[in-house]
Amino acid sequence: MKKLLLVMTLGALSGCMSDSDDTEELSSPIITADFSTAKDDLKVTFTNTSTSTDSPIDSYQWDFGDDSAASFAINPVYTYTVADTYSVLLTVTTEDGGSTSITRDVSVAKIPGNPTADFTYSPDGLTVTFTDSSAVANDTIANYSWNFGDVAPGNTSALASPSHTYSASGDYDVTLDITSELGNKTATVSYQVTVTDNVIDPVNPQADFSSVVTDLDVTFTDLTSVDNGSITDYLWGFGDSTSSALASPSHSYAAGGTYSVRLDVTGSDGTTASNSKDVTAYDPAIEPTTPTVSFTSDALAELPSFTVNFTADAANETSPITTYAWDFDSLGASSAFNPTFTFADAGIYTIQLTVTSEEGIENSYSESVEVFAPVIELPEYIACQVTSTSSSNASNRDEELVSCFVSDVAILDKKQAGVWCAEQVSSYITGPDFSGLNWFRARPTLTANVLETACP
């Protein structure tokens, strides 16, 4: 709001009047009020440039034109609250009482600042609500341009605070570009937004654990795995009527022995799983025993085969057997409990089995095993006969013999018959029977001996 001011200039005049023609004129002091301004947004720095030629300036009074309190500073700095044009009045007074004033219009305006782009987001399943939190000094945001980072079309928006629904779970780079209204300045910000379908995938826990035994003390380590989510609850049963709800507990047994330890787990979706294993604790006061070991095999002359199945027979009193080491006469090895081994030839082989108890005590057993070669079926000769169509030694009899076989290849070549091949090894002709009344129609019989073998 502009303020109407009255500008007054006062001068001090003095003189003497008499009947004499001689008069003396005294001039008043010359006072000039003036000022300059420097603006920074709504803040104005006023610089006084007033002068007085005769009497020094004694005081300054500023009226900033906005109903605020007057200022008596020589060079005041004043910040307006509203951009507008104000009539600023400066009154200066000299030491001898003279004063003068000047009024000037001073226009102030907010200088548009640089915008800062920013936003927050709130996902709900695949739908995300974006909230603009951009800012700009002395200006407003005129334009918004969103890119939600998924597949076009439909992945952009010009709203200030839009919502967007994605088609699938994932991480998306969302970008917001803004443009200010007065300053026409731009700014950009990008965030990675993660969305997840509200459909909860099953945790599908697979309970598992390992154990380390030190005498009667056992340390258990949880090895449970999940497809999704996490494990929320654990329940251990140590096989001696005690339990624990820790993820990986330790337990001390009162006596040595083998205990059935069970782990029950609960996934974050409420599904459960369990696993049980035998754990043997040892009383250090009891001397460890040596394992007993032997084995058997199914190598029999009645059932000859190069492939032999072995069965271990091992036991120990104070601790279970933990490892099995088989040596098949230096031809191969196995750590299986009951292995199978295929020999290349028949013969007598020395087989050794070494077992180790959980207490680290070993014992070995060796035995000779005779391997018998399997029986191979010998090929059979088969005969093929066909009656010739001619009464003489025609040249087409080889072709006539071909009809004995399901093949397009000549009889003298190998014939495919399933997984077997047939090869002619000899042929002969049986002469026709000329007895009887139809002797003139007699035909010879063609016969081929064929060897049936496996195909190459």
Question: What pLDDT is recorded for position 207?
Answer: 96
- E strands, 216-320, in order: 217-222, 231-237, 243-244, 250-252, 257-267, 272-281, 292-297, 307-315
- For residue 255, the Cα-to-chain-centroid distance in whole angstroms is 47
Domain-embedded: residue 27: yes
Domain-ending residue, one of 341, 371, 401 = 371
Domain-embedded: residue 37: yes
Question: What pLDDT is recorded for position 288?
Answer: 87
CATH of the domain at 163: 2.60.40.10
Question: What letter does residue 440 receive in the DSSP assignment?
Answer: G
List the end-to-end C-alpha distance of the chain, in Å, as a whole number: 113
Question: What pLDDT is recorded for position 386?
Answer: 55
pLDDT in tens, 125-136: 899 999 999 999
The C-alpha atoms of residue 328 and residue 348 are separated, in whole angstroms, by 11
Domain-embedded: residue 200: no
Q: Is 369 helix (H, G, I), strand (E, B) or coil?
A: strand
Domain-ending residue, one of 195, 227, 246 = 195
Question: What pLDDT is recorded for position 320?
Answer: 86
Confidence of residue 4 (pLDDT cuts 50, 70, 90): very low
Claim to verify: residue 103 and residue 18 sit in the same structural domain:
yes
Claim to verify: residue 152 and residue 233 sit in the same structural domain:
no
Cβ within 8 Å of residue 343, ≥6 positions away: 306, 307, 308, 328, 331, 349, 371
Domain-ending residue, one of 235, 254, 281 = 281
Higher-confidence residue: 15 or 444?
444
Q: Which has the closest alpha carbon to 328: 316, 341, 315?
A: 341
Domain-embedded: residue 332: yes
Q: Determine how many CB atoms are found less than 10 A away from the CB of residue 12.
A: 16
User: What DSSP assignment string belongs to 299-317?
Assistant: --SSS--SEEEEEEEEE-S
The C-alpha atoms of residue 314 and residue 336 are separated, in whole angstroms, by 13
Q: CA angle, corner 118, sides to 114 and 121, nearest 5? A: 165
Domain-embedded: residue 204: no
Domain-embedded: residue 128: yes
Claim to verify: residue 261 and residue 299 sit in the same structural domain:
no
Q: Which of 20-24, 98-102, 110-114, 312-316 has the lowest mean pLDDT?
A: 20-24
The C-alpha atoms of residue 97 and residue 57 are separated, in whole angstroms, by 9
pLDDT in tens, 151-198: 988 999 999 999 999 999 899 999 999 999 888 999 999 999 999 887
Domain count, the chain: 5
Output the pTM of the full model. 0.36
Claim to verify: residue 158 and residue 104 sit in the same structural domain:
no
The tokens of 241 are what? 């009527």
Q: Which has the closest alpha carbon to 234: 256, 257, 206, 266?
A: 266
With pLDDT > 70 as the criterion, what percentage of the chain qualifies? 76
Question: What pLDDT is recorded for position 318?
Answer: 83
Question: What pLDDT is recorded for position 398?
Answer: 58
Claim to verify: residue 150 and residue 88 sit in the same structural domain:
no
Domain-embedded: residue 331: yes
Claim to verify: residue 157 and residue 177 sit in the same structural domain:
yes
Claim to verify: residue 32 and residue 97 sit in the same structural domain:
yes
The C-alpha atoms of residue 441 and residue 253 are separated, in whole angstroms, by 103
Claim to verify: residue 213 and residue 184 sit in the same structural domain:
no
Claim to verify: residue 191 and residue 159 sit in the same structural domain:
yes
Domain that holds residue 365: 292-371
Domain-embedded: residue 50: yes
pLDDT in tens, 208-235: 999 999 989 999 999 999 998 899 999 9
Omega prior to 284 cis, within 30 of 0: no
With pLDDT > 90 as the criterion, what percentage of the chain qualifies? 60
Claim to verify: residue 219 and residue 154 sit in the same structural domain:
no
pLDDT in tens, 302-358: 899 999 999 999 999 888 899 999 999 999 999 999 999 999 999 999 999 999 998
Claim to verify: residue 315 and residue 269 sit in the same structural domain:
no
Identify the helix (H) or strand (E) that includes residue 401. helix 397-402
Confidence of residue 257 (pLDDT cuts 50, 70, 90): confident
Claim to verify: residue 401 and residue 445 sit in the same structural domain:
yes
The C-alpha atoms of residue 313 and residue 338 are separated, in whole angstroms, by 9
Name beta bridge partners: 234: 265
